[in-house]
Structure 1
Amino acid sequence: MTHPKPAVGIAVPEMKFAKVGGGELTFGGTKDRWSLLVVYRGKHCPRCKRYLSKFNDMLSDWTDIMDVMVVSADTAERAQSDVAEFGWKFDVGYGMTEPQMRQLGLYVSDPLSEAETTTRFAEPGTYALRPNGELMLVDISNGPASRPDLDELLDGMRFNIDKDRPVRGTA
């Protein structure tokens, strides 16, 4: 049994997501700064809320070193509801498609009931890109209980950026 992994060290083609509040978010391609994408399961996930609220509390530390965005497969209404309820200050995208999920190597789940959600959704994933669009770091999970520790990830990203560390795990 295999699950395709995203290829680190390779440029990620641009992916676009509708943005809460209007406009769109672009992940991939060439940028002026490093980029971080955090994929969350959606409004139905209480673990996501705790994780993203901690991320929000650390936001200025993250934005000092890179651009950040958070995306789910939720509808505009569900994503906007979370932003309003939790006061998230980071950019939130919505409407992630299943082909986008697959392109990022994410695990995809069916809802357990309509009370959860009514469409397939992505399980958690975190991606860091160099300014040239090259995928430097990827962390994917098949469920909500496993995610990178935000303090460790921030410390590691500072180190990677400051020391211009090479991509690891290419073999």
Structure 2
Amino acid sequence: MSQSTSLSATKLQGGALFPSVEVPKIGGGTVAIGGPKERWTLFIVYRGKHCGRCKNYLNKLEKTYKDWNAAGFDVACISADPLEKVNADIEQFGWTFDIGYDLQEADMRKMGLFISDPLDSGETDRRFAEPGIFCIRPDGTAQIVAISNGPAARPDLDELLDGMIFTIKNDRPARGDVD
């Protein structure tokens, strides 16, 4: 197993401006995160085609996608996978939300994500981001920052949606903003 020589990472805090990230989008155009938008954004960084837990998570997202939209959210997901791998998953699972590909390591670092090397060539052929789930306000600031160093720890999407509906309705501020 490889070991990183650096354990430090930039931590994105609640209430901070979300960094600008732009990757190519399946079907053309780009997935652009960061900066002001008209609506809230649910933004998910997933590990990639090699991860069964990611597929389960994105399948659950597909089931609640309309509920997220009805609550005022645009939804976007990205991974470091190349176009061919993302297309294969979309063909297999029928995901209808925006999906970007070819996330670069520099952008992973800007978001404060954990980064892993593949365990072997059967897993994948490049470094990839561990899961990150973000709820971003229309003004471009991070409301929810949920990052994990492994595939098994991610927010339950139904609980997250319920909490975000409460947050929006009651105009709650971002939490965890104390240095």
User: What TM-score do you get using the length of structure 1 for normalisation?
Assistant: 0.97
1:14 aligns to what? Answer: 20
Residue-by-residue CA offset, 1:27-65 (whole Å, 9 max, x unaligned): 110000111110100000001001110110111001112
Deviating beyond 6 angstroms after TM superposition, the runs of 4 or more aligned structure 1 residues are: none
Match of 1:78 among 82, 85, 93: 85
In the TM superposition, residue 2 of structure 1 has moved relative to its aligned partner by 4.6
Aligned-partner SS, 1:58? helix
Pairwise CA distance, 1:132 = 0.6
Alpha-carbon distance in 2 for matches of 1:67, 1:97: 22
Residue 50 in 1 paired to residue 39 in 2? no
Deviations 1:65-94 (A, max 9, x none): 200101000001101111111000110000
141 and 13 in structure 1: CA distance in 2 versus 1, 3 angstrom threshold? closer
Of 115, 118, 124, the match for 1:117? 124
Number of residue-to-residue matches in the alignment: 171
Flag structure 2 segments of 5+ consecutive residues without an equivalent.
Answer: 1-6
Task: Give distance in 1, aligned partners of 2:163 and 2:78.
Answer: 22
Aligned-pair identity in percent equals 51
Long gaps (5+) in structure 1: none
CA RMSD of aligned residues (A): 1.0
Q: What TM-score, normalized to structure 2?
A: 0.93
Tell me whether 1:25 sits opposite 2:22 in the alignment: no
The SS at the match of 2:15 is coil
Q: Aligned match of 1:164 in 143, 161, 171?
A: 171
Task: Please state how far the C-alpha of 1:3 moved relative to its aligned partner.
Answer: 3.8
